[in-house]
Structure 1
Amino acid sequence: MSRPITESAGSHIDNPAPAATTLAAKPDELAYNRQARSRKLEKSKVILLATLTILAVGLFIHQAQEILIPITLACLLSSLLSPIVRWAKRYHVPQALTSAIVVMILMTSFVLAINLIAEPAARWVNQLPDQLRLVHKKLYAVKGSLSDLQAVGDEVSQLADAQFPLPEGTAPIVVEIEETSWMESLITDDLPVFSGSLVICVVLTFFLLASGDHFLRQVTKLGTNWSNKRMLVRLSKSMRQELSVYLGTISIINACLSIVVGFALYLLDIPNPFFWGVIAGLLNFAPYIGPMVVTVLLALVGLITFDNLGTAMLAPAVFVVITLLEGQVITPAVVGHRLSLTPTAVFIAVVFWTWLWGIAGTLLATPILTVVKILCENVPALRGFNYLIERSS
């Protein structure tokens, strides 16, 4: 009888070892859980900080657009025109002199373009209400579907004209509404801002062109070691060369598009054909959205000009064919795969920068996206992002 008791006692003596192991494991498990919670908390803080930083940067870009837009445009123009300055430098022409001549030619071209399109644009905008009523009559010759709406409008007018008796001793209140014309608003509000932005853009473009490689040498000082300095030099040269080639090529293509569209509209007897050609070339800097706007405008002009619906739609149809040929055949063949962008990335960029900067953002969205692509190609940490915006072959 004693032996079983001994075994049982021995078993009771040996069993506490697993329990001790379990008790020893619990502090380690608790420490691991605390570390996991700490890592999740740190990750949440990083995500929150990144989100707040992005929102702050976006708000700053939006609020500072009056300064950032001319600065961005000046950087793009200097990249576009810098090959001319470097070419003149080979023949020992001072950079400052070449830069001044180039900027003067640019300003003269800009003034001539404004004079070419300002008068037709102002005349077309002033006549737009009458023209829209004319289009309304053509499209809705039979207004049976609008009879109920017209009846409601008549009832509202009668209610507004009704005279209600006022209490004794109460004088009627006369409300006068001052209407400000769009031309007066343009002169008082938009023209000073535009003039200031133009001065910033012109002066900064001159300084960037006249500085030449001095700015590049200053950029290299930002590197902390030889490897970083080499990367900065490579990035600066690549961005300057590739952006110059891209902007120059796209500018030539859009200029040719303006001429082709203007000549086609001239053959179709559209009023002010070369004005619409210039508008088509400018808005073509904003892919997808720009051609869509021009198509709608040409459809409106066709409806105003012609009585036949088929003839009216001929102008936008011809423009769509020309734009598709340019966008799907000519531009990819000339620009090549190196700087080709996915349609999704371009569309999102155009929508985003239009939301931030308006019309200026619409025109600058694609060049800014091109700069981002060149940056992603030359910075190892950003090369993964390049696959999202680069068009696959």
Structure 2
Amino acid sequence: MQSNTLVKLTCAALLAVLLGSVFVVAKGIIVPIFFAAIMAYVIAHTANRLSKVPGLRWCPVWSLRLMTLVIFAIILVVFFGVIVSTGQELLARLPDYQANVETLVQETFSLLGRSGPVDWGQIYEATFGQLDVRAAVLSLLSSLTSAGGTLFLILIYAFFLLSERGRFVGKIYAAATTEAQAQKILAVVAEINNQIANYLGTKTSINLILGVMSYVILLVLGVDFALFWAILIALLNYIPYVGSMLGVALPVALSIAQFGSLQTTALVLASLLAAQLWVGNYLEPRLIGKQLNMSPLIILLSLSVFSALWGLAGAILAVPLTSIIAITLGAFDETRFVAVLLAETVEDS
């Protein structure tokens, strides 16, 4: 018995290593497909919500999904337009930002009791070294532009995934050896669809609320590129724990260069943190609660693993993919113990 268990664990470990290698090598193929599946979940969830609106109840489900897909495409086009315009304007304002930082450093040294001119060149070399900010911004814009083609591919994948949903059940029955096996597979898929669609749909709504709140805060406080930062904050909030901190840090860092005032930067930081805390500690627990039932430690570990495999894309996909793995493992007696270890709470049976 013990030897069989050891063999199973060894095979599972080897399979995990093999899959990890495949995920790294085939990153360019696998990641767009996963993102397309996530987008298909969100689109299907949104279409189901729209079907309950009084004026849209008569519309076929496929038309609502197509309409939602078109809206997503328009949003992506607008988003990339905002990115390009923000990058161009940021490059134009870099000299002003540098001058503001120099003034702030001079004032800080004065408060510390040091008088006389500050050797900015020496400070720059000691802190930033040979970092070329302009080249870094241009490289980032180039990466984002190439990502536009990937997003277009994701939209195409999502369209075909949505069009295949109606024929999926028939394919499962045709592929399964017995009707019981087909029903078990469909039950697992239904649970995955239900949990992931509800989670992603609710999480997307929460992120939109956070994005709007952040936009209003940044606009009122006069922070440059308020729309861009608000969109980025909403997207980064898909990443558990780390995303919210990063979403606050970036616009706060820009505010230092823009205003050259620690008081104004502190106000920006406090306002954005207040929005994040309200969403994270009040709104999100009320709307999402324990939908996915995953241990916080497991979430952090999955975040580390998928980030190492796929970078930022892996960080965004970490929670949905880990949830899918947990649901699948929990459906079979041989692997149910792994799903139990991944869960935060376990119901007595």
Shorter chain as denominator, the TM-score bin is: 0.7 to 0.9
Equivalent position to 2:277, from 315, 324, 341: 324
* Alpha-carbon distance in structure 1 between the residues aligned to 2:174 and 2:182: 7
Between 1 and 2, higher relative CO (CA 8 Å, sep ≥ 6) is seen in 2
TM-score (norm 1): 0.70
Q: Which residue of 2 aligns with 1:93?
A: 60
Q: Which ranges of structure 1 fall in alignment gaps of 5 or more residues?
A: 1-35, 155-179
Q: Which ranges of structure 2 fall in alignment gaps of 5 or more residues?
A: 127-133
Give matches, 1:157-196, under 5 Å.
181=135, 191=145, 194-195=148-149
Deviant stretches of 4+, over 6 Å? 186-190
User: CA 1:81/1:117 → structure 2, altered by over 3 Å: closer, same or farther?
Assistant: same
User: CA 1:345/1:318 → structure 2, altered by over 3 Å: closer, same or farther?
Assistant: farther
User: CA 1:134/1:379 → structure 2, altered by over 3 Å: closer, same or farther?
Assistant: farther
Aligned 8 A contact 1:377 1:386 in 2: yes
User: CA 1:240/1:57 → structure 2, altered by over 3 Å: closer, same or farther?
Assistant: same
* Alpha-carbon distance in structure 1 between the residues aligned to 2:143 and 2:251: 29
Is 2:175 aligned against 1:209? no
* Alpha-carbon distance in structure 1 between the residues aligned to 2:95 and 2:294: 40
Aligned 8 A contact 1:85 1:98 in 2: yes
User: CA 1:126/1:231 → structure 2, altered by over 3 Å: closer, same or farther?
Assistant: farther
Q: Which residue of 2 aligns with 1:106?
A: 72
In the TM superposition, residue 269 of structure 1 has moved relative to its aligned partner by: 2.6
Equivalent residue letter for 2:72: L
Equivalent residue letter for 1:102: T
Q: Which residue of 2 aligns with 1:234?
A: 187
* Alpha-carbon distance in structure 2 between the residues aligned to 1:360 and 1:297: 18
Q: Which has the larger radius of gyration?
A: 1
Figure out how many residues of one structure are paired with residues of the other and give that number: 324
Is 2:223 aligned against 1:270? yes
Aligned 8 A contact 1:305 1:312 in 2: no
Deviations 1:82-117 (A, max 9, x none): 24666499857383x555443222211211222234
Q: Which residue of 2 aligns with 1:124?
A: 90
User: CA 1:302/1:183 → structure 2, altered by over 3 Å: closer, same or farther?
Assistant: closer
Q: Which residue of 2 aligns with 1:170?
A: none
Q: Compare 85-94 and 200-209 and name the one that shifted more.
A: 85-94
User: CA 1:124/1:387 → structure 2, altered by over 3 Å: closer, same or farther?
Assistant: farther
Is 2:88 aligned against 1:135? no
Percent of matched pairs sharing the same residue: 21
Q: Which residue of 2 aligns with 1:160?
A: none
Is 2:37 aligned against 1:75? yes
Aligned 8 A contact 2:207 2:237 in 1: yes
* Alpha-carbon distance in structure 1 between the residues aligned to 2:323 and 2:171: 24
Aligned 8 A contact 1:286 1:362 in 2: yes
RMSD, aligned CA: 3.7
Aligned 8 A contact 1:299 1:316 in 2: yes
Equivalent residue letter for 2:294: L
User: CA 1:342/1:317 → structure 2, altered by over 3 Å: closer, same or farther?
Assistant: farther
Aligned 8 A contact 1:74 1:201 in 2: yes
* Alpha-carbon distance in structure 1 between the residues aligned to 2:12 and 2:60: 48
Aligned 8 A contact 1:99 1:206 in 2: no
Is 2:256 aligned against 1:303? yes
User: CA 1:107/1:358 → structure 2, altered by over 3 Å: closer, same or farther?
Assistant: same
